[in-house]
Amino acid sequence: MLRTLSVPLAVAALVGAALLVPPFASTAGAGTPATAACSTPWGSTPESAPALSAAPVFDVRTGQHPCSDRVVIQVVGDVGGYTVRYVDVLTQEGSGKPLAVPGGARLSVTVNHPAHDDAGRATFDRPIGPVATVDGYPTLRSVVYGGSYEGYTQLGVGVRARLPFRVSTQAGPGIAANRIVIDIAHRWS
Cα angle, residue 170 at apex, residues 187 and 27 outer, rounded to 5°: 45
What pLDDT does residue 27 have? 29
**Residue ranges of E strands in 35-149:** 47-49, 57-64, 68-76, 82-87, 90-91, 98-99, 105-111, 129-130, 140-149
The answer, yes or no, to whether residue 15 has pLDDT greater than 60, is no
C-alpha distances out from residue 145 to 41, 66, 101, 104, Å: 28, 26, 9, 18
pLDDT in tens, 66-92: 999 999 999 999 999 999 999 999 999
Interval 108-130 mean pLDDT: 96
In CATH, the architecture of 43-185 is: Sandwich (2.60)
SS3 state at 126: coil
Interval 116-123 mean pLDDT: 94
pLDDT, mean over the chain? 83
3-state helix, strand, coil in the chain (%, to 5): 10, 40, 50
Side-chain-side CA neighbours of residue 81 (13 Å): 8
User: Which sequence spans correspond to the domains of the chain?
Assistant: 43-185
pLDDT in tens, 145-184: 999 999 999 999 999 999 999 999 998 877 778 999 999 9
Is the overall model pTM greater than 0.75, yes or no?
A: yes
pLDDT in tens, 16-73: 333 333 333 332 333 334 445 788 889 999 999 999 999 999 999 999 999 999 999 9
Q: How confident is the model at residue 127 (pLDDT cuts 50, 70, 90)?
A: very high
Cα angle, residue 39 at apex, residues 63 and 158 outer, rounded to 5°: 40
